[in-house]
Amino acid sequence: MRTRISHITYYVDLRSAYVQFLGCNFTCPWCIRRLTPWDHHLDSNELARLRFQGMLSMDGFLQIISDAIVKYGMEEVVLGGEEPTIDPALPIIIRELSNRRLRVRLLTNAYEINDELLSTLRQCNDCEVVIGIKTLDPNKHIKYTGKPIEPVLNNVKRLLESGVRVIFETVLIPGLNDVNDIEAIAKYLATLSRDSILIIDPLIPIPGTPWRRPTREELSDAMSRAGKYVRVMSHERLGRPSEVITLYPRPR
């Protein structure tokens, strides 16, 4: 069976693999993948070396996972890159990882959560879903992602009602998803659950797009205003440094 996995990196100090899927059902112009198809935490020599070697078979993927458990004592797998939910193999992948007693974090835009995936997540004790909320404005959502927001919000409710552990993430984009918008997102999330968590990331600007990186003050402002409604975090402040190596594509 083929997967849509094209790239895997490993964070040695965190004992965590980052599994990257190829392809997305959204078209966000600020998508970091427009800068590089590879994990941007890799050093420049490694980025220059990497060449696409195709998408992994299920057997090839599971062999890499087994090797990383034995060699590095891997404990966690993050499923992300572009959009994992467009891979029909995703429920099997999650079950295989869970059977190996690994913690699983699924990063998704939550546009497509089919019944098999929902059921798999519901039965997985060590799974967490991180849902990226692009904007709550329906017009901006369809303009920039190419898809309506309603399925995303419906799927957020389905996941929460099923008891799946969910946290949320949004990108602070001055002029598009700015401090006021992020406060509105936090206010909305607080209506869904009393203990919602929102990660706020500053935009990494993409050349050719009109949006700039927010200032530190704007990020602090967004965090304190959202923090009135939900627990807030920022990858930029919480991220621990770690050595990062490539598990796939393999060196030739």
Residues that bind ligand SF4 (CB under 6 A): 24, 26-28, 31, 33, 82-83, 109, 132
- Phi, psi (5° rounding) for residue 216? -60, -35
Paired tokens of 198: 């929102």
Between residues 18 and 229, which has the closer beta carbon with respect to ligand SF4?
18
Shortest Å, Cβ 224 to ligand SF4: 25
Between residues 74 and 93, which has the closer beta carbon with respect to ligand SF4?
93
User: Are 232 and 186 a contacting pair, CB within 8 Å?
Assistant: yes
Q: Tell whether omega for the bond before 249 is within 30 degrees of 0, i.e. cis.
A: yes
Between residues 122 and 147, which has the closer beta carbon with respect to ligand SF4?
147
- Helices 150-161, 115-123: crossing angle, 10 deg rounding: 30
Shortest Å, Cβ 159 to ligand SF4: 17
Shortest Å, Cβ 252 to ligand SF4: 28
Tell me the C-alpha to C-alpha distance, in Å, between residue 252 and each of 4, 42, 181, 191, 198: 21, 18, 47, 52, 41
Shortest Å, Cβ 31 to ligand SF4: 3
Q: How many residues does the chain have?
A: 252
Shortest Å, Cβ 39 to ligand SF4: 13
Between residues 33 and 41, which has the closer beta carbon with respect to ligand SF4?
33
Between residues 104 and 110, which has the closer beta carbon with respect to ligand SF4?
110
